[in-house]
A and B are shown apart, each in its own frame.
Chain A
Amino acid sequence: MHLKYESQLREPLVYGEKDFHQVTEDICRPIEAKPSKLWYVGFFIAVALLMFGFYSIYSEVTYGVGQWNLNKTVGWGWDITNFVWWVGIGHAGTLISAILLLFRQGWRTGVNRAAEAMTIFAVMCAGQFPIWHMGRVWMAFFVMPYPNTRGPLWANFNSPLLWDVFAISTYFTVSLLFWYSGLIPDFATIRDRAKTKLRKKLYGIAAFGWTGSTKHWQRHESLSLVLAGLSTPLVLSVHTIVSFDFATSVIPGWHTTIFPPYFVAGAVFSGFAMVQTLMLILRKVYGLEDYITLGHIEAMNKVIVLTGSIVGVAYLTELFMGWYSQNKYEGYTFWYSRANLFSPYGWSYWGMMACNVLSPQIFWFKKMRRNLFVTFFMSIIVNIGMWFERFVIIVTSLYRDYLPSSWSIYYSPTIFEIGFYLGTFGLFFTCFFLFSKYFPVIAIAEIKHVLQTTGESYKEKVGGIEAMQGEEFAHDYAH
């Protein structure tokens, strides 16, 4: 990194006259200060939602899945929609931390910590759904392939749902390790600045005895690289496997080979939208505008418009194939159950189209990409759109499949299905509030690296040099 040369023309990634100490001060300030009233209000709301979620799950586990409005034809509804939605959201974090690291995108350092935290919390939320959607969740351990006393019974490795179990748990583990290993030097910084004993002790434990020795840094760097290498395929594999839940089935609308790339693109799309939502709030509340700059926001908006367009192409491809295949069952699902606005669930398809394909096109304009309000609004829209996408895939395919006799009545959620979803928001934000209070929301150590090459102050320093002509520089250099 230190050898990196970056053009003066590029926007600085850190604004302001910052030295290393100033960076530390800026990022550690919220951790060392008392939380604001706003934090308490937000935290309270999040915990309240979480409690409602607990109650919804309690009700479902006690009385049965009949507490939800699923039926004999529509076996999955909000539960799996929300599962896929949350998993998708998680993807941005991994993409930012792993793939962008490998691609040497310096701008990732401003947002990677929070994005990775988001990944972990989102995966935690996602995991709730496949667990609690089971009719007999107390038997959930049957999916674990471990030597047991139940005779030759073993998990069914043909089932995509089992692949999910491994995909999600691997994803969670690797993401957590990656995130945590990045946190170690920063915890050490907080430990070293701690003024109370308890603080020192807790952050000390969390820092695993980090001293900042060269050996530590060396191991830390190699570990990061290894984990980045591990995470990179996960970005692609996790949502690919999630898409297999549908793609390997026989249901028209699910049975589609395009699903893996389409799901991955959709996941990145929604993930970045969620990162935008969170970052825009975070930088405002914590005054981190110098670290999470307009440049970051623009870069992420570019990813959004790219992935949104990929997703759009996928939608159109599906429609095309629905016609081109001349398969009447697929034709019905794609052209009637979905694309027909006046069919019972037509609204969800066109909601999806409007949110995911049409509205992100606004980001072709630089002005819009750099407009905070537009960005924030769009980030919400995209997440709604991606929720619609999963709903469309799951419900509109299921409710009218092969035999017209089994076509379903209108499926809409009960209070407990909504409650479960809100509960995962509660879980997510409870975790995120705690994270933003107790953890450094920007990777201190990493931003310092970036600061050296692409910070505004650095750029100013070298700006004069860069402006020189060749001979002039050689002349100066000779001196």
Chain B
Amino acid sequence: MSNNKHWQSFGELNNSAAFQKASKDEFQEDLPFVSENESFLDAKAPRRDFLKYLGFSTAAAAIAASCEIPVKKAIPFANKPEDIVPGVANYYATTYVQEGDAVSIVAKVRDGRPIKVEGNDLSPITKGGTSARVQASVLDLYDTARLRFPTIDGKEVTLESVDKAVASSLGTGPVVILTSTINSPTSLEVINQFIAKYPGSRHVQYDAISYSGLLLANEASYGKKAIPSYRFDNAKTIVSIAADFLGTWLNPIEFSKQYATGKRIDEKNPSMSKHIHFETVASLTGSNADDRFLCRPSEIGAVAAALLSAVNGQGVAGILDAKLKSGIEKAAKELVAAKGASLVVCGSNDVNVQIIVNAINDAIQSGGKTIDWSATLNYKGGIDADFAKLVDDMNAGAVGALFIQGANPAYTWYDADKFVAGLKKVKTTVSFNSRNDETTASCKFVIPDNHFLESWGDAEPKSGYYSLMQPTIHPLFKTRQWQDSLLKWSGITTTYLDLVKSYWVAKLGNEVAWDKALQDGVINPATEVMATALPFNAATLSGALAAVSAAKKGGKIELSLYQKIAIGAGQGATNPWLQEMPDPITKATWDNYLIVSPALAKTLLDIDLSNGGQSDDYEVHPEKKVVSVTVNNKTVQLPVLIIPGTQPDTVGIAVGYGRSAGNGKTADGVGKNVFQFASLSGGTVSFEIANVDLKLTDDTYTVALTQTHAIYNTDQGNRTEVMKELTLADYKKNPETVREEREEELKPFGGIEKFETQGTIYPYYDRPGIHWGMSVDLNTCTGCGACVVACNAENNVSVVGKSEVARFHDMQWIRIDRYYSGDLDNPKVVFQPLMCQHCDNAPCENVCPVAATNHSTEGLNQMTYNRCIGTRYCANNCPYKVRRFNWADYTGADSFPDNQNQQLVGKLDDVVFVMNDDLSRMVLNPDVTVRSRGVIEKCSFCVQRLQEGKLKAKKASRPLKTGADDEWDLKVACQQSCPTNAIVFGNINDSKSAVVKSRVDNKFREFYSIEQVHTLPNVSYLAKVRNTYDEAEKAEG
């Protein structure tokens, strides 16, 4: 190495001063942030901070510019409340109360919002069952049409001022508290205290659909103006005369549960209860009956009388129709044969008819067996005559003040005009109703009541059985419980909460018991009360029989007004879920209509359903003919639906429609009000009209139906692979009928055992671990539709409105298919709940070009919304047609702005916007994605519940339990809601699970829908067995 000095420039070589300066100041400008005299790191913003700031601000700018900010309003918990963990649901036991109906429920509360109600397993009445209306009630809490503050003459006021105004106007005349039936002991206490304070006041109970006839008949027969408990589970023979006890009569949840026990089949020892039904217009109960016979509305009394005489061995008299006559004879024979284990119920509101029914029940010794007087049913207590008198008093100016709670006579009373006229003559009118309904609109003072999920309270649906109510959310609006108002006006300073608490603490003995009761939600009798009978007093019977036989005969066509399961007397009309729930019988949504029989359709509409072309034409076009219906010079124009199972000379119309605009956009303009057709006869309101004029118009009207075809026996063969049903006689003869049929169907592909491997050219894969499966018992499914609404609530299923349902764009994930078989005029009906079958060889999965739908290792057919590009190929290739496509932006979740104002095609109904309101959206389940436009969705087997259940088991370090020893880590929404436990769900790889048990115990009845397609569904069905006379009839004819 030499020591040569290497230089880079002449300056360096010479090392001149200029060079030295230049090299020292190589970077001539100061670095930013560094001041002259400080060292670099002493600077306020040194270089590495500069880099930090640079990085942060770049990142912040990038985030602000490019990322969507999903949450607009988020309010953090400043102090986290105890027991509330974000993302973890809390459950509170409470009570659903609506116009006398009271059902024990458990409310699921997520982050302070109730989002779902489920049945309370601890209630011995419902045993965890619910109905469609109970399931939908949580949406009422977030109804945009709820009144949000007290008003005087429609102007907003404070509670204090309304209290003052009401207090000052009291005392000028008797006060009448008009309520729907109240079965809450503490509420009755509140009313009594008020009446004590204002002597001369009275409490009138009013039921839109009254049970006065039954109550008064029981008073005459048993000396008790009450309704006994019915024990359908103890009945081997059930005869119903137009009582829709599975749908709308008293408490269908309890009755369905009881009814199902008689319908559940034990394969080893098959026996079933027998249900014979007489009815005028096809109802849910009639459709479930083993045998149904049709009578005119005016004949109901005659049928009861004939049945009585037949039961007494005196033969059937006064019935001309041969089928009906033989039906009565058969019913009488069955009733007598099962004496002491049989039951007759009747839906008539006529005292005389109910007295006759009481006599029948006495003759067949139902008392203490199937009719239990130890506990009365307190759902309905209104007496029509009391209310009629009140209306007269009001019109006479004899009422000083009227407080209205839960009743809406201006809509539901047959002579609503008279009631409204009377209301105008009452000086002080106060409404506690939560909507500006027909009655409230005419009231001076309005103090809206809390929703039951915001309220304290209790209920005694059945005497001795109590259900407690506690709030699950702070009142959303400036509302107050009506009990608090009454207490205040009575001059009592305690609040209703204190009253409820002190009442129950006193009754239960201590506060611990009260806490426990509140937690359970129910207070039951310590021991099961023995069923008791009351002696039957026959004094009024002969009078009743005479009255019935003297009753006016009906005209050419008669009309029967009925309630729909979802809508009731109009209570459900404001609820989008209920409006969009297809009626189990007609499969129609969003309307009422005239129901006619196929026979009447021939003469009235010139449509012959037995003619293939004409029935096709009727089915494929949702535009139905319009008929004008005239009763007593009152005319309503309604579209016509042809519903088999309706008496040929009878037509039916559902009440509960045609609500005023004050009820909100959901109900407004939907259907027509037909309460005006009812009449007061013999002191009770009658919903049977003996004479009606029908006139076909040239108009058509679109009815939004979700199912158009109902017969699986087609021109080219009976599609028995879809649905299997048989009679009990056939089943007893050969229990393996269904299995043999399946074996035959699958024979070309290796038979049942080898079908899975030989029905395909693809290799077989085993399925270890958890494998989800479902079993649906068609024998116990009544088709009530609770599961449909439960699924809507659990899975954020969009409400699309009538216009979209009419275009076959409904979104429900579970539907209940209704099939007819046999006689067109009076067919057998079977209901089949159909959801995604989660096929292990799913046709939808392999056709998706982007693999947006695929199979999980647990057997779930999964849908990945954000991968879906919306080709709809999967929906086309689904043999069950359970996939639903988001045809428009129903949820507002789409990123396209202004895309809900369709004008030319597919204009969305108001209800879609109602459901997209910030208030309505509070009901959404945060565990389930809200789907946006353009993607397919379908039943996920409530995958969010499955995950939660698995986690629960995992945290407890034990295997998952789905019904093993009746322990459940999870239940899917439809299963949970089912009042008859027809749906069983669980792990099919766990031999102890309920679903496996259901399949193994019923292996002769088990089938898979259209299994020959080799979809290998994970949903199995148990064939419907009917305890019908068909066998005998076959032998005869």
Q: Mark B684-722, 1 if CB is under 8 A from A, else 0.
A: 000000000000000000000101111110111111001
Please indicate the chain B residues that have their CB under 8 angstroms from the CB of A66 in the complex.
804, 807, 809, 887-888, 902, 905-906
Q: Mark A16-36, 1 if CB is under 8 A from B, else 0.
A: 000000000000000000000
Q: Mark B835-850, 1 if CB is under 8 A from A, else 0.
A: 0000000010011111
Please indicate the chain A residues that have their CB under 8 angstroms from the CB of B622 in the complex.
409
Q: Taking the complex as formed, is B875 at the interface, i.e. its CB lies under 8 A from any CB of chain A?
A: yes
Q: Taking the complex as formed, is B880 at the interface, i.e. its CB lies under 8 A from any CB of chain A?
A: yes
Please indicate the chain A residues that have their CB under 8 angstroms from the CB of B872 in the complex.
65, 70, 75-76, 133, 135
Question: Knowing that A72-B885, A135-B936, A328-B719 are A-B contacts, what are 13 other residue pairs whose CB atoms are under 8 Å apart, sorted by A's residue number?
Answer: A62-B896, A70-B885, A136-B870, A137-B869, A156-B849, A248-B847, A328-B717, A332-B715, A342-B616, A404-B719, A409-B619, A409-B807, A414-B906
User: Is B935 within 8 A of A404, CB to CB?
Assistant: no
Please indicate the chain B residues that have their CB under 8 angstroms from the CB of A161 in the complex.
847-849, 871, 873
Q: Mark B848-875, 1 if CB is under 8 A from A, else 0.
A: 1111000000000000000111111101
Q: Taking the complex as formed, is A251 at the interface, i.e. its CB lies under 8 A from any CB of chain B?
A: yes
The 3 residue pairs across chains A and B that have the minimum distance between CB atoms? A135-B870, A135-B934, A328-B717
Q: Taking the complex as formed, is A142 at the interface, i.e. its CB lies under 8 A from any CB of chain B?
A: yes
List, sorted by A's number, 10 A–B pairs whose CB atoms are closer than 8 Å. A66-B902, A135-B871, A136-B869, A142-B867, A155-B851, A402-B719, A402-B1010, A403-B834, A404-B722, A405-B834
CB-nearest residue of chain A to B904 = A415
User: Is B906 within 8 A of A405, CB to CB?
Assistant: no
User: Is A251 within 8 A of B711, CB to CB?
Assistant: no
| Residues of A61-75 contacting chain B, CB below 8 A | 62-75
Q: Taking the complex as formed, is A249 at the interface, i.e. its CB lies under 8 A from any CB of chain B?
A: yes
User: Is A405 within 8 A of B707, CB to CB?
Assistant: yes
User: Is A251 within 8 A of B850, CB to CB?
Assistant: no
Shortest distance between the CB of A390 and any CB in chain B (Å): 14
Q: Taking the complex as formed, is B613 at the interface, i.e. its CB lies under 8 A from any CB of chain A?
A: yes
Shortest distance between the CB of A215 and any CB in chain B (Å): 45
Compute how far the CA of A74 lies from the CA of B809 in the bound complex, rounded to whole angstroms. 10
Q: Taking the complex as formed, is B621 at the interface, i.e. its CB lies under 8 A from any CB of chain A?
A: yes
Q: Taking the complex as formed, is B101 at the interface, i.e. its CB lies under 8 A from any CB of chain A?
A: no
Beyond A66-B804, A66-B906, A156-B851, is A76–B868 a contact (Cβ under 8 Å)? no
User: Is A75 within 8 A of B1013, CB to CB?
Assistant: no
Q: Which listed residue, B612, B708, B875, touches A342 by the CB 8 Å rule?
A: B612
Compute how far the CA of A137 lies from the CA of B871 in the bound complex, rounded to whole angstroms. 9
Q: Which listed residue, A64, A154, A401, A409, touches B899 by the CB 8 Å rule?
A: A64
Beyond A134-B870, A408-B620, is A143–B849 a contact (Cβ under 8 Å)? yes
CB-nearest residue of chain A to B884 = A72
Q: Taking the complex as formed, is A272 at the interface, i.e. its CB lies under 8 A from any CB of chain B?
A: no
Q: Taking the complex as formed, is B819 at the interface, i.e. its CB lies under 8 A from any CB of chain A?
A: yes
Q: Mark A318-353, 1 if CB is under 8 A from B, else 0.
A: 000000000011011001100010111000000000
Instruction: Say whether chain A's binding surface is mostly helix, strand, loop, or mixed.
Output: loop
Residue of B705, B709, B832 with highest tally of chain A CB at under 10 A: B709
Compute how far the CA of A347 lies from the CA of B651 in the bound complex, rounded to whole angstroms. 35
Q: Which listed residue, B722, B832, B846, B905, touches A159 by the CB 8 Å rule?
A: B846
Compute how far the CA of A398 lies from the CA of B709 in the bound complex, rounded to whole angstroms. 14
Shortest distance between the CB of B252 and any CB in chain A (Å): 24
User: Is B870 within 8 A of A65, CB to CB?
Assistant: yes
Shortest distance between the CB of B520 and any CB in chain A (Å): 41
User: Is B871 within 8 A of A67, CB to CB?
Assistant: no
| Residues of B910-956 contacting chain A, CB below 8 A | 933-936
Q: Taking the complex as formed, is A377 at the interface, i.e. its CB lies under 8 A from any CB of chain B?
A: no
User: Is B873 within 8 A of A75, CB to CB?
Assistant: yes
Shortest distance between the CB of B558 and any CB in chain A (Å): 31
| Residues of B116-171 contacting chain A, CB below 8 A | none
Please indicate the chain B residues that have their CB under 8 angstroms from the CB of A160 in the complex.
847
Q: Taking the complex as formed, is A250 at the interface, i.e. its CB lies under 8 A from any CB of chain B?
A: yes
User: Is B819 within 8 A of A405, CB to CB?
Assistant: yes
Q: Taking the complex as formed, is A410 at the interface, i.e. its CB lies under 8 A from any CB of chain B?
A: yes
Q: Taking the complex as formed, is B197 at the interface, i.e. its CB lies under 8 A from any CB of chain A?
A: no
Please indicate the chain B residues that have their CB under 8 angstroms from the CB of A248 in the complex.
847
Q: Taking the complex as formed, is B817 at the interface, i.e. its CB lies under 8 A from any CB of chain A?
A: yes
Shortest distance between the CB of A105 and any CB in chain B (Å): 38
Shortest distance between the CB of A333 and any CB in chain B (Å): 9
Q: Taking the complex as formed, is A158 at the interface, i.e. its CB lies under 8 A from any CB of chain B?
A: yes
> Interface extent on B, as a size class?
35 or more
User: Is A75 within 8 A of B851, CB to CB?
Assistant: no
Please indicate the chain A residues that have their CB under 8 angstroms from the CB of B620 in the complex.
344, 408-410
User: Is B809 within 8 A of A71, CB to CB?
Assistant: yes
Q: Taking the complex as formed, is B617 at the interface, i.e. its CB lies under 8 A from any CB of chain A?
A: yes
User: Is A344 within 8 A of B905, CB to CB?
Assistant: no
Please indicate the chain B residues that have their CB under 8 angstroms from the CB of A402 in the complex.
719, 722, 879-881, 1010, 1013
Q: Taking the complex as formed, is B1006 at the interface, i.e. its CB lies under 8 A from any CB of chain A?
A: no
| Residues of A157-180 contacting chain B, CB below 8 A | 158-162, 165
Q: Taking the complex as formed, is A407 at the interface, i.e. its CB lies under 8 A from any CB of chain B?
A: yes
User: Is B808 within 8 A of A408, CB to CB?
Assistant: yes
Q: Taking the complex as formed, is A299 at the interface, i.e. its CB lies under 8 A from any CB of chain B?
A: no
Beyond A71-B807, A336-B715, is A406–B881 a contact (Cβ under 8 Å)? yes
Q: Which listed residue, A139, A165, A407, touches B709 by the CB 8 Å rule?
A: A407
Shortest distance between the CB of B738 and any CB in chain A (Å): 18
Beyond A332-B714, A405-B834, A409-B708, is A65–B807 a contact (Cβ under 8 Å)? no
| Residues of A102-145 contacting chain B, CB below 8 A | 130, 133-137, 139-140, 142-143
Compute how far the CA of A73 lies from the CA of B933 in the bound complex, rounded to whole angstroms. 18
Shortest distance between the CB of B48 and any CB in chain A (Å): 31
Compute how far the CA of A162 lies from the CA of B1015 in the bound complex, rounded to whole angstroms. 22
Compute how far the CA of A321 lies from the CA of B715 in the bound complex, rounded to whole angstroms. 17
CB-nearest residue of chain A to B872 = A75
Shortest distance between the CB of A255 and any CB in chain B (Å): 9
Q: Taking the complex as formed, is B57 at the interface, i.e. its CB lies under 8 A from any CB of chain A?
A: no
Q: Taking the complex as formed, is A358 at the interface, i.e. its CB lies under 8 A from any CB of chain B?
A: no
Please indicate the chain B residues that have their CB under 8 angstroms from the CB of A68 in the complex.
905
User: Is A72 within 8 A of B875, CB to CB?
Assistant: yes
Q: Taking the complex as formed, is B876 at the interface, i.e. its CB lies under 8 A from any CB of chain A?
A: yes
Please indicate the chain A residues that have their CB under 8 angstroms from the CB of B299 in the complex.
none
Compute how far the CA of A73 lies from the CA of B619 in the bound complex, rounded to whole angstroms. 14
User: Is A139 within 8 A of B869, CB to CB?
Assistant: yes
Q: Taking the complex as formed, is A153 at the interface, i.e. its CB lies under 8 A from any CB of chain B?
A: yes
Q: Taking the complex as formed, is B460 at the interface, i.e. its CB lies under 8 A from any CB of chain A?
A: no
User: Is B849 within 8 A of A159, CB to CB?
Assistant: yes
Please indicate the chain A residues that have their CB under 8 angstroms from the CB of B879 in the complex.
250-251, 401-403
Q: Taking the complex as formed, is A59 at the interface, i.e. its CB lies under 8 A from any CB of chain B?
A: yes
Compute how far the CA of A471 lies from the CA of B612 in the bound complex, rounded to whole angstroms. 79
Shortest distance between the CB of A325 and any CB in chain B (Å): 11
Shortest distance between the CB of B827 and any CB in chain A (Å): 14
User: Is B850 within 8 A of A404, CB to CB?
Assistant: no
Compute how far the CA of A414 lies from the CA of B719 in the bound complex, rounded to whole angstroms. 33
User: Is A403 within 8 A of B906, CB to CB?
Assistant: no
User: Is B613 within 8 A of A342, CB to CB?
Assistant: yes
CB-nearest residue of chain B to A416 = B905
Please indicate the chain B residues that have their CB under 8 angstroms from the CB of A76 in the complex.
872-873, 876
Q: Taking the complex as formed, is B810 at the interface, i.e. its CB lies under 8 A from any CB of chain A?
A: yes
Q: Taking the complex as formed, is B454 at the interface, i.e. its CB lies under 8 A from any CB of chain A?
A: no
Shortest distance between the CB of A157 and any CB in chain B (Å): 9
Please indicate the chain A residues that have their CB under 8 angstroms from the CB of B809 in the complex.
66, 71-72
User: Is A155 within 8 A of B849, CB to CB?
Assistant: yes
Residue of B876, B936, B1013 with highest tally of chain A CB at under 10 A: B876
CB-nearest residue of chain B to A135 = B870
User: Is B869 within 8 A of A63, CB to CB?
Assistant: no
Beyond A75-B873, A398-B876, is A344–B722 a contact (Cβ under 8 Å)? no
User: Is A331 within 8 A of B717, CB to CB?
Assistant: yes
Shortest distance between the CB of A409 and any CB in chain B (Å): 5
User: Is B621 within 8 A of A410, CB to CB?
Assistant: yes
Shortest distance between the CB of B229 and any CB in chain A (Å): 37
Compute how far the CA of A332 lies from the CA of B721 in the bound complex, rounded to whole angstroms. 15
Shortest distance between the CB of B640 and any CB in chain A (Å): 17
Compute how far the CA of A42 lies from the CA of B375 in the bound complex, rounded to whole angstroms. 86
Q: Taking the complex as formed, is B484 at the interface, i.e. its CB lies under 8 A from any CB of chain A?
A: no
Q: Taking the complex as formed, is B961 at the interface, i.e. its CB lies under 8 A from any CB of chain A?
A: no
Please indicate the chain B residues that have their CB under 8 angstroms from the CB of A59 in the complex.
904-905
